[in-house]
Structure 1
Amino acid sequence: MIVVDTNVLSEPLRREPDRRVLEWLALNAGQLALTTITIAELRYGAVRLPEGSRRTALLLAVDRLVAEAGDRVCSFDVEAARAYAAIRSEREARGRSISVEDTMIASICLARGYALATRNVGDFDDVGLSLVDPWA
């Protein structure tokens, strides 16, 4: 399985999405998963918009993504919490910051042995994940 980071999932929602990402998503559709963290980030981005058709459309698109993912939605659980502590403390010891959300997404991947698709490979390059850049 490949967990799809927020920046990858949000790309098709853009007015002019990158063709390479759309093709990559279509090619790998059967093995993609998302996290509850990504759902939260996407919904947060949508609700920050002013009331209107764009906001409504984005919220519906997120709901559609969740419905399509079905049992491929990964939650932050006890195993992910253990991985979180290790990732965060190791990064701090090396003087490299990482956001709470990125740490949670990486932790979910590590706990399940899943790869991560992201545009921001440099944010995750030292946490022991298999990384995929759909823009490459």
Structure 2
Amino acid sequence: MRYLLDTNLLIALSKERAGLADRLACHSASAILISSVVVAEIEYGIAKSVRQEHNRHVFDTLLAGFNVAPFDAAAARHYGFIRAQLEREGRIIGPHDLLIAAHALALDAVVVTDNTGEFSRVPGLAIENWLA
């Protein structure tokens, strides 16, 4: 099984949230992925932060331990389908969460997030909350 970590998981990991590193250690490094969309969200957070140099160091160090999966054409196809479906049903979610969900479906991965409310609207998406 593969896992795609959401932005809030990386932030919790950077803050050394109790038990999270142990949970990650239960899985092989190849099973844990970071979406390039999540990296973009982290980069935005660093750019607007007061402690840019510190945050850059923390996240560069953290990201070095993970495989970053590029958002590709397969993910884009899932995105188009999911967005259209959720709009028809009146159950839209945030744009970044939608991209991450599509990426997870394309990778056949479980989204690991503390934001289960948004992601649970996406049909067929497997979700786990390692912070609960």
TM > 0.5 between the two?
A: yes
- Give the letter aligned to residue 132 of structure 1: E
Q: Which of 112, 124, 131 does residue 127 from structure 2 map onto?
A: 131
Whole-angstrom distance in 2 between the partners of 1:85 and 1:121: 21
Whole-angstrom distance in 1 between the partners of 2:13 and 2:78: 30
Q: Tell me, yes or no, if structure 1 residue 56 matches structure 2 residue 57.
A: no
RMSD of aligned C-alpha atoms?
A: 1.6
Whole-angstrom distance in 2 between the partners of 1:75 and 1:108: 9
- Which protein has the bigger helix share? 1
Residue in structure 2 matched with residue 24 of structure 1 by the alignment:
23
Whole-angstrom distance in 1 between the partners of 2:58 and 2:43: 10
Q: Tell me, yes or no, if structure 1 residue 13 matches structure 2 residue 14.
A: yes
The alignment-based identity, stated in percent, is: 31
CA shift at 1:58, angstroms? 1.2
Q: Tell me, yes or no, if structure 1 residue 93 matches structure 2 residue 88.
A: yes
Tell me, which stretches of 5 or more residues in structure 2 are unaligned?
Answer: none
> How many residues are aligned here?
129
TM-score (norm. length: structure 1): 0.85
Residue in structure 2 matched with residue 118 of structure 1 by the alignment:
113
